[in-house]
């Protein structure tokens, strides 16, 4: 292989659209130049790059849009088989559907089968990196990392730590969760593109002794991730207060065990207080905003503007299988609706702004990379970054084509893609410059 020029419209972000005017680079007739090492050599106008690289083979994708591979900041691979389970909100949904499903993943062969389907779905939807919860079984983590390694995919994942309030066959102990996590960190963290996340499921399913062990792991391995759920559902929040009566709210439970720092990612954060948002910003922790899940489980409406006001890092997540789609485009489309509803229910709707398409594409690429502390490697076409990218076709369906033809500005084109797009819109997915 050698350097290759991909010619199409090219878009990527250099900053947060809500924080700066100069948030992105867009080349209507552009080229993404990818080296033989699978890294970005340049992104810019086709005329300039092709003139400077006359002997480089060109892949002509004109009429399409190239963007960085999407990043899913929170997803459960074992829940692939239970998307769309009817009728319950969080706590009942866990007991009725999730725990029985996850109990199958002690079987490595079974786990490998689901991991394969999961990784294929990511690729089909243009998602090239994900922060993934496995199950309590160490085998489930091996299965996912093995499948991801076949595609050289940058995956962050970890074994769920869970020692109470779940069926017996899904429980570990403080000691085994510590030992098993440690073994998995040594086996997988930084092996190829794999990264490890210490993963207490959420406060209700861990004893204080287990959360202490999670904190100990983070002390011993400062560059691994911490991945959990927080403040998703009102009954969940009340339960946490009962289980940890001395705590000053949900985040304080995690803070008191030393779990909040850079590379700590909290899924949801739908019902956080102002002081909790300030604390997250202060510790450098991030929130995964999971709109399809929050709507599906009836959890609530995330306040993106409040998180922004406090300077909390936010990435977009699907949260499959409470989330209803693997598609980053579908997730952006639903995020827009969540923010619309949030405005409808706000004390003073006039202070609330709609979510722009530029912002949601940012949250699914560079914003998520920043939330995951990976923006020096992925999330944009900065020179030297790993060339994970997708080719979107705005004419993929009859309706998209009809509607796209009437979209003139970049913002309009992106908004149409996120409103009508899905896996059919993702024409190609490349990982480290290799077509999948």
Tell me which residues touch ligand GUN (CB under 6 A).
76, 90, 94, 98, 201-202, 229, 232, 293, 319, 322
Using CB atoms within 10 Å of the CB of residue 69, give its burial: 0 to 12 exposed, 13 to 18 middle, 19+ buried: buried
Q: Are 113 and 323 in contact (CB under 8 A)?
A: no
Nearer to ligand GUN, 268 or 343 (CB): 268
Q: Structure tokens of 392? A: 């979107």
Q: Counting every residue, how long is the chain?
A: 436
Q: Are 172 and 161 in contact (CB under 8 A)?
A: yes
Nearer to ligand GUN, 56 or 171 (CB): 171
- Provide, rounded to whole angstroms, the least separation between the CB of residue 81 and ligand GUN: 13
- Provide, rounded to whole angstroms, the least separation between the CB of residue 271 and Fe ion: 15
Scanning 185-193, 220-228, 316-324, 377-385 for contacts with Fe ion by CB under 5 A, the matching segment is: 316-324
Nearer to ligand GUN, 170 or 417 (CB): 170
Nearer to ligand GUN, 9 or 98 (CB): 98
> What whole-number distance in Å separates Cα of residue 424 and Cα of residue 245?
49
* Residue 97 DSSP label: I
Q: Structure tokens of 81? A: 């088989």
- Write the CB contacts of 138 (distance below 8 Å, at least 6 apart in sequence): 159, 180, 183, 184
- Provide, rounded to whole angstroms, the least separation between the CB of residue 207 and ligand GUN: 16
Scanning 6-14, 315-323, 342-350, 382-390 for contacts with Fe ion by CB under 5 A, the matching segment is: 315-323
- Provide, rounded to whole angstroms, the least separation between the CB of residue 17 and Fe ion: 26
List the one residue out of 32, 42, 24, 41 whose CA is nearest residue 62.
32
- Provide, rounded to whole angstroms, the least separation between the CB of residue 293 and Fe ion: 7
- Provide, rounded to whole angstroms, the least separation between the CB of residue 92 and ligand GUN: 12
Q: Which does 24 bind (CB under 5 to 8 A by kind): ligand GUN, Fe ion, none?
A: none
Please give the residue whose beta carbon sits closest to Fe ion in the complex. 319
How many residues at the interface with Fe ion, by CB under 5 A?
Answer: 2
Scanning 160-168, 319-327, 345-353, 398-406 for contacts with Fe ion by CB under 5 A, the matching segment is: 319-327
Name the pairing type of β-strands 434-435 and 389-392.
Answer: unpaired
> What whole-number distance in Å separates Cα of residue 346 and Cα of residue 318?
25
What region, left, alpha or beta, does residue 38 occupy, with left being phi > 0 and alpha being psi -120 to 50 degrees?
Answer: left
Q: Which does 202 bind (CB under 5 to 8 A by kind): ligand GUN, Fe ion, none?
A: ligand GUN
**Interacting positions 245-304 with Fe ion (CB under 5 A):** 267
Nearer to ligand GUN, 43 or 314 (CB): 314
Q: Are 371 and 284 in contact (CB under 8 A)?
A: no
What region, left, alpha or beta, does residue 63 occupy, with left being phi > 0 and alpha being psi -120 to 50 degrees?
Answer: left
Check residue 319 for interaction with Fe ion (CB under 5 A).
yes
- Could you give the residue ranges of the DSSP H alpha helices within 345-409? 357-363, 366-371, 398-404
Q: Which does 201 bind (CB under 5 to 8 A by kind): Fe ion, ligand GUN, none?
A: ligand GUN
Nearer to ligand GUN, 94 or 148 (CB): 94
**Interacting positions 59-98 with Fe ion (CB under 5 A):** none
- Provide, rounded to whole angstroms, the least separation between the CB of residue 402 and ligand GUN: 36
Check residue 236 for interaction with Fe ion (CB under 5 A).
no
Nearer to ligand GUN, 90 or 195 (CB): 90
Nearer to ligand GUN, 133 or 224 (CB): 133
Q: Are 315 and 286 in contact (CB under 8 A)?
A: yes
Q: Which does 303 bind (CB under 5 to 8 A by kind): ligand GUN, Fe ion, none?
A: none
> What whole-number distance in Å separates Cα of residue 70 and Cα of residue 87?
30
Check residue 334 for interaction with Fe ion (CB under 5 A).
no
- Provide, rounded to whole angstroms, the least separation between the CB of residue 76 and ligand GUN: 5
- Provide, rounded to whole angstroms, the least separation between the CB of residue 183 and ligand GUN: 23
Q: Are 360 and 336 in contact (CB under 8 A)?
A: yes
| Residue-wise burial string across 311-330, b where 16 or more C-beta atoms lie within 10 A, e elsewhere | ebbbbbbbbbbbbbbbbbbb
Nearer to ligand GUN, 232 or 388 (CB): 232
- Write the CB contacts of 228 (distance below 8 Å, at least 6 apart in sequence): 199, 200, 201, 202, 203, 254, 259, 265, 266, 267
Nearer to Fe ion, 72 or 319 (CB): 319
- Provide, rounded to whole angstroms, the least separation between the CB of residue 109 and ligand GUN: 23
DSSP conformation letters of 37-67: TSBEEEEEEHHHHHHH-TTS-EEEEEEEEEE
Q: Which does 98 bind (CB under 5 to 8 A by kind): Fe ion, ligand GUN, none?
A: ligand GUN
The contact set with Fe ion (CB under 5 A) reads: 267, 319
């Amino acid at each position: 292989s050698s350097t290759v020029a991909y010619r199409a419209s090219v878009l990527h972000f250099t900053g947060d659209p809500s924080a700066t005017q100069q948030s992105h680079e867009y080349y209507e007739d552009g080229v993404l130049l990818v080296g033989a090492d699978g890294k970005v050599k340049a992104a810019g106008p086709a005329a300039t790059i092709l003139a400077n690289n006359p002997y480089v083979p060109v892949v002509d994708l004109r009429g399409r849009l190239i963007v960085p591979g999407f990043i899913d900041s929170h997803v459960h691979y074992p829940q692939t088989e239970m998307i769309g389970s009817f009728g319950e909100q969080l706590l009942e949904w866990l007991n009725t559907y999730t725990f029985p499903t996850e109990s199958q993943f002690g079987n490595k062969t079974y786990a490998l089968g689901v991991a394969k389907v999961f990784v294929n779905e990511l690729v089909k939807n243009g998602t090239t990196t994900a922060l993934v919860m496995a199950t309590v079984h160490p085998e489930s983590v091996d299965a996912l990392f093995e499948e991801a390694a076949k595609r050289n995919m940058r995956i962050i994942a970890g074994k769920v730590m869970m020692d109470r309030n779940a069926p017996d066959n899904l429980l570990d102990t403080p000691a085994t969760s510590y030992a098993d996590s440690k073994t998995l960190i040594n086996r997988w963290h930084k092996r190829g593109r794999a990264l490890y996340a210490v993963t207490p499921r959420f406060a209700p399913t861990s004893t204080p002794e287990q959360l202490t062990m999670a904190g100990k792991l983070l002390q011993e391995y400062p560059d691994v991730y911490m991945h959990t759920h927080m403040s998703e559902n009102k009954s969940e929040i009340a339960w946490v207060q009962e289980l940890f009566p001395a705590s000053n709210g949900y985040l304080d439970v995690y803070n008191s065990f030393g779990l909040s720092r850079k590379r700590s990612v909290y899924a949801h954060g739908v019902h956080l207080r102002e002081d909790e948002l300030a604390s997250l910003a202060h510790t450098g922790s991030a929130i995964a905003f999971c709109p399809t899940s929050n709507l599906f489980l009836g959890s609530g409406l995330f306040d993106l503007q409040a998180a922004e006001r406090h300077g909390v890092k936010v990435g977009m997540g699907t949260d499959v299988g409470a989330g209803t789609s693997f598609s980053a485009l579908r997730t952006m489309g639903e995020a827009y609706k969540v923010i619309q509803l949030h405005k409808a229910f706000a004390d003073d709707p006039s202070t609330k702004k709609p979510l722009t398409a530029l912002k949601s594409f940012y949250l699914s690429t560079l914003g998520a990379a920043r939330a995951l502390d990976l923006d020096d490697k992925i999330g944009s076409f900065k020179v030297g970054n790993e060339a994970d990218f997708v080719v979107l076709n705005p004419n993929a369906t009859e309706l998209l084509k009809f509607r796209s033809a009437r979209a003139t500005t970049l913002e309009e084109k992106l908004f149409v893609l996120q409103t009508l797009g899905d896996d059919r819109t993702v024409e190609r997915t490349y990982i480290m410059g290799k077509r999948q």
